[in-house]
Amino acid sequence: MRLNAEIKKVLKDFTLDIRIDTSASRIGILGPSGSGKSMTLRCIAGIETPDCGRISLDEKVLYDSGSRVFLKPQQRNVGYMFQNYALFPTMTVLQNLECGARGSRTEKRERALEMLSRMKLDGLEKRFPSELSGGQQQRTALGRILAGKPELILLDEPYSALDPNLVDRLQREMEEILKDYHGQVIMVSHNRDDLYRFSEEIFIVREGSVLCHDRTKNLFDDPRSLEAAKITGCKNFSRIRRIDAHRLEASDWGIKLEVDRPVPESVRFVGYRAHYLKPVWGGRKRNCMKFCCAFVDDMLFEKKYYCIPETGCTDQDKLVSWFVQAVTQEMLEKRGMPDYLEFEQERILLLE
């Protein structure tokens, strides 16, 4: 399967200009709220019409402004899971499932009954959506989509409206159900964790355009641009001055850094994830920064230290975030605050 989408659409705050060309089977679109992710899905499903562009699935053209092709959503065979599931409130679970199936009345009934047991909804066929738990609603919505054997499934922020206690379980259920589905699935989310575990390939979207895309692992290891690094959750950034191929000066942190890779001329910033900072006691080592803690956020299983860097600059947005989890926290309690924080060279992000 290969999805190829080129979508242009003028929106109120920005112009959507998205290019997606991928044959990955689990695709993530990551971006802040209001960046045009959902609109992209809606255009692919045919709920919204782009101003121009072209959308195709393998050989099948869904939309092409050039040759004036616009398939109705009914003709696209693209499943769309809405954030609120959009189950039909006046129909029972079985009737909802039937709505997704195609064919004659008996074929629909058969397919719906098949989905009912595959989604582990047995015994709930006469319930209305309002009488279901969150997990049952999600399974009904997925079952209703899968009943029509779609070629592509679109998941629009599937977990963001859920009770945090439910999310883990529903994620596992969703993965379990989609394991047998061999078409492409696109998940849109502003939550990097959701997409990290779900997607093979991620597109980062910001203000209506694709900032970058890559295999998930590569993208998180090397986001390449400052904006993309921010969206992947990197907290610490510094402007740099390049000294030579392996050394640079991080001016916002007031230290010199050595990097294991050659530093390209185009690099303007370095980034460093807050969880990766390493406490160092005693003598100064390579890539160490002297710091002074400005304030601490005490979370349940984590402490967030906000540190004044070696420049001594106390600006709020120049503070270095250092997130410490339980094991390291115990060490801190035993040995006291470290003298330095180390930036491990292989974890330094080189950004343009």
Partner 1 sequence: MREFLSGLDWSPLYISLKTGLAATVISFFLGIIAARKVMNCSGRVKAVLDGILTLPMVLPPTVSGFILLLIFSKRRTVGIFLKEQFGIVAVQTWLGCVIAAGVIAFPLMYRSARAAFEQIDPNLVFAGRTLGMPEREIFRRVVLPAAAPGLASGTVLTFARAMGEYGATSMLAGNIPGKTGTVSQRIAMVIQNGDYVTAGFWTAVVLVIAFLIVVLINLIAGKNTRQTRRW
CB of 97 to partner 1, least distance (A): 10
For β-strands 201-206 and 78-81, DSSP reports them as unpaired
Site size with partner 1, rule: CB under 8 A: 26
Stretch that binds partner 1, among 14-22, 94-102, 328-336, 340-348 (CB under 8 A): 94-102
Using the minimum distance from each CB to partner 1, give the nearer residue, 84 or 314: 84
CB of 110 to partner 1, least distance (A): 17
Question: Is 88 a binder of partner 1 (CB under 8 A)?
Answer: yes
**What residues numbered 14-43 form the site for partner 1, per CB under 8 A?**
42
Stretch that binds partner 1, among 50-58, 89-97, 281-289, 301-309 (CB under 8 A): 89-97
CB of 182 to partner 1, least distance (A): 19
Question: Is 185 a binder of partner 1 (CB under 8 A)?
Answer: no
**What residues numbered 189-248 form the site for partner 1, per CB under 8 A?**
none
Rounded to whole angstroms, how far apart are CA atoms 260 and 345?
6
CB of 128 to partner 1, least distance (A): 11
Taking the CA atoms of the chain, what radius of gyration do you get in angstroms? 24
Rounded to whole angstroms, how far apart are CA atoms 76 and 45?
7
x-marked contacts with partner 1 along 128-167 as a string, rule CB under 8 A: ----------------xx--x-------------------
**What residues numbered 66-85 form the site for partner 1, per CB under 8 A?**
72-74, 76-80, 82, 84
- Alpha carbon of residue 266 to chain centroid: 27
Alpha-helical segments (H) within the chain: 37-45, 73-76, 93-100, 105-118, 134-146, 164-178, 192-198, 216-221, 226-231, 326-335
Q: Are 39 and 11 in contact, with CB atoms under 8 Å apart?
A: yes
Using the minimum distance from each CB to partner 1, give the nearer residue, 128 or 276: 128
CB of 44 to partner 1, least distance (A): 10
* Half-sphere exposure at residue 348, Cβ-oriented, CA atoms within 13 angstroms: 26
Rounded to whole angstroms, how far apart are CA atoms 301 and 224?
31
Rounded to whole angstroms, how far apart are CA atoms 85 and 102?
20
Rounded to whole angstroms, how far apart are CA atoms 163 and 352?
37
Rounded to whole angstroms, how far apart are CA atoms 198 and 187?
8
Rounded to whole angstroms, how far apart are CA atoms 97 and 113?
8
Question: Is 90 a binder of partner 1 (CB under 8 A)?
Answer: yes
Question: Is 47 a binder of partner 1 (CB under 8 A)?
Answer: yes
Using the minimum distance from each CB to partner 1, give the nearer residue, 88 or 281: 88
Question: Is 3 a binder of partner 1 (CB under 8 A)?
Answer: no
Residues that bind partner 1 (CB under 8 A): 42, 45-47, 72-74, 76-80, 82, 84, 86-91, 99-100, 102, 144-145, 148
